[in-house]
Each structure stands twice: as structure tokens, then as C-alpha cells.
């Protein structure tokens, strides 16, 4: 396993995304993922599965210190009191004590950034989380947030895959010693996996298209990924990417695909994204 080293945080480069996993199926997938070797699980209050994620981790029998758990505070809860209450509720639901990483899920322009970042930092002081970070922050927002935080922000979780460039956000992450955790890292299982550039690299290495895409991400300095699957047989596939390396021409050809600039997650409350 590769780790993203960001300040004092060591984030396993591959984690299990859990958006849309629910109920017993979620408990089961989290436990199976840990059995398959995953050491990083990503949840959020908004996913409605924090309780099940916690239960899956307990069911796996893994030592608490051996697993990296991330959760997130929803963007409507960023005023000081709301953020503190939401974070405490998440910890109660997960039921494992402090999480490893607490993120602001999306920025909210109606709440002063300093207020949210101060409240987020207080979740470390209050023993709710070991580390803090953000998600869906642009490079400008990241510069502002990093300058105001009492505790280091260790990551920005953003959409990243071969059809979306993130050069500016990645440069900002590196400026501030933060990791970039890629969400929708396999393009939600869509067209990216059928692209000839990806398919030919997959054939050349005897790997699947998803493994090629994930490998392209984690080969970049400071980048990790949290693919989601609801199929137990795909858990191992999405983790088995540490036994080969892309060739330089493949890396360049995949990077060139990012010019398509196709964003999959762009809700009405999204910030003004970095221009490409």
C-alpha cells in the first residue's frame, strides 16, 4: 500500500468510497473490504451510512489504529455551532471514537470561511478527529483556508479522473503539503473505462481498465483515490494496483485525456471551479 504523507497524517492511497451503500449491504461491504486489505474507508453524514460504516469496521475485527476513517460535515452545517454539533453527531453514529479525518464536504459562501475553518479546527481540540481537511475546494479557497487554519489541513477531496484536469488544485495541495484524494476516481464506471487509450494500456499490462485509471492517479505525487463498488468481487480488483507501473507514453496519453474537462459532480451549490 502506498500512503499519502501530509503533515502528520498518513492516508492510505486507496480507500473504499461508500456513497450509496446502505444498510446491511454497507456493513457487509465495509467488513469485506477490510478483509480484502483496505485500510481507509470514506463516509459522510450526507451518505446516511455512518452507523453502518462503523458497524462494518467493528465487524471486521481490525484494530482501530490500523484503519483510517474519514467523514464529512455537510455544507449547510458550516456555521460554528452547527459544525460542532454535526461533527459530534457523526462521531456518535460511527461509534469508534475519534475519526482520522473530518472534512468540510463542500464550501458554503454564505458562512465566513474563517468561522467554518475555526470550528473545523476545534474538532481536533475536542478530540473528535485526528486530522482535518476539506473537499471540493478550488485552489483559491484552498490558499485562503490553509492560511487561516490553526491545525494543518491535510487533504482536499475532489473529483479527479482521466477526463477531468485538476492541475491547479493539485499544485495548491502540494503548496500546502496536503494530499489530493480523488473521488469518482473511475469516472463512476462510465465512458472513461471504455476509452481506447485506457483499454490498450489495460491489455498491455494484463490489468482491467479500472486498475489502469486508479494506477494513473496514485502514481502522481500526493494523490490517492477512493473507488466505490457494491460488488464484493471488485474490491480486490480496485486494490490490486501496486504490482505494476505505467509506461511514460501511457501516462502522457492518459493525462492528455483530461483536456475533455468532463465534470460528473457539479451541483447547484458548487463553487466557481478553477478554470482549466
Q: Quick check: 233 binds ligand NAP (CB under 6 A)? A: no
Residue for grid cell 485526528: 130
Q: Quick check: 19 binds ligand NAP (CB under 6 A)? A: yes
The count of chain residues that interact with ligand NAP, using the rule CB under 6 A, is 28
Q: Quick check: 68 binds ligand NAP (CB under 6 A)? A: no
Q: Quick check: 136 binds ligand NAP (CB under 6 A)? A: yes
Q: Quick check: 230 binds ligand NAP (CB under 6 A)? A: yes
> For residues 238 and 38, is the Cβ–Cβ distance under 8 A?
no
Cβ neighbours for 275, distance < 8 A, ≥ 6 positions apart: none
Q: Quick check: 94 binds ligand NAP (CB under 6 A)? A: no
Task: Report how far residue 152's alpha carbon sits from residue 273's, in angstroms, rounded to the nearest whole number.
Answer: 23
Catalytic, 47? Answer yes
Which range, of 93-101, 177-185, 239-247, 268-276, touches ligand NAP by CB under 6 A?
A: 177-185
Q: Quick check: 133 binds ligand NAP (CB under 6 A)? A: no
Cβ neighbours for 67, distance < 8 A, ≥ 6 positions apart: 34, 39, 40, 41, 57
**Closest to 178 (Cα-Cα) out of 219, 228, 143, 148:** 143
Which residue among 19, 38, 47, 183 is the active-site one? 47
Q: Which positions from 103 through 132 interact with ligand NAP, judged by CB under 6 A?
A: 105
Task: Report how far residue 149's alpha carbon sits from residue 47's, in angstroms, rounded to the nearest whole number.
Answer: 26
Cβ neighbours for 252, distance < 8 A, ≥ 6 positions apart: none
Q: Quick check: 234 binds ligand NAP (CB under 6 A)? A: yes
- Where along the sequence are the contacts to ligand NAP (CB under 6 A)? 17-19, 42, 105, 135-136, 157, 183-189, 193, 208, 210, 226-231, 234, 237-238, 265
Residues acting as catalytic residues: 47
Amino acid at each position: 500500500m502506498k500512503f499519502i504523507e501530509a503533515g502528520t497524517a498518513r492516508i492510505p492511497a486507496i480507500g473504499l468510497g461508500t456513497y450509496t451503500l446502505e444498510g446491511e449491504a454497507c456493513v457487509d461491504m465495509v467488513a469485506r473490504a477490510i478483509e480484502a486489505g483496505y485500510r481507509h474507508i470514506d463516509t459522510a453524514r450526507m451518505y446516511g451510512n455512518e452507523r453502518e460504516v462503523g458497524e462494518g469496521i467493528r465487524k471486521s475485527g481490525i484494530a482501530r489504529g490500523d484503519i483510517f476513517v474519514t467523514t464529512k460535515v455537510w455544507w449547510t452545517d458550516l456555521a460554528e455551532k452547527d459544525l460542532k454539533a454535526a461533527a459530534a453527531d457523526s462521531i456518535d453514529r460511527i461509534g469508534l471514537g475519534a475519526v482520522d479525518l473530518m472534512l468540510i464536504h463542500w464550501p458554503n459562501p454564505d458562512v465566513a470561511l474563517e468561522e467554518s475553518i475555526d470550528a473545523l479546527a476545534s474538532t481536533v481540540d475536542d478530540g473528535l478527529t485526528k486530522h482535518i481537511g476539506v473537499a471540493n475546494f478550488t485552489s483559491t479557497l484552498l490558499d485562503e483556508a490553509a492560511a487561516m487554519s490553526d491545525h494543518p489541513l491535510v487533504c482536499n477531496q475532489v473529483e479527479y479522473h482521466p477526463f477531468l484536469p485538476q492541475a491547479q488544485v493539485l499544485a495548491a495541495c502540494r503548496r500546502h503539503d496536503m494530499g489530493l484524494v480523488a473521488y469518482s476516481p473511475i469516472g463512476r464506471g462510465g465512458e472513461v473505462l471504455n476509452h481506447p487509450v485506457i483499454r490498450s494500456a489495460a491489455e498491455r499490462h494484463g490489468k482491467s481498465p479500472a486498475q489502469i485509471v486508479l494506477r494513473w492517479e496514485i502514481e502522481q505525487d500526493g494523490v490517492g483515490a477512493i473507488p466505490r463498488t457494491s460488488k464484493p468481487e471488485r474490491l480486490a480488483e480496485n486494490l490490486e494496483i501496486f504490482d505494476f507501473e505505467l509506461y511514460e507514453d501511457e501516462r502522457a496519453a492518459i493525462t492528455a485525456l483530461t483536456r475533455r474537462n468532463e465534470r460528473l459532480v457539479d451541483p447547484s451549490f458548487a463553487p466557481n471551479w478553477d478554470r482549466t
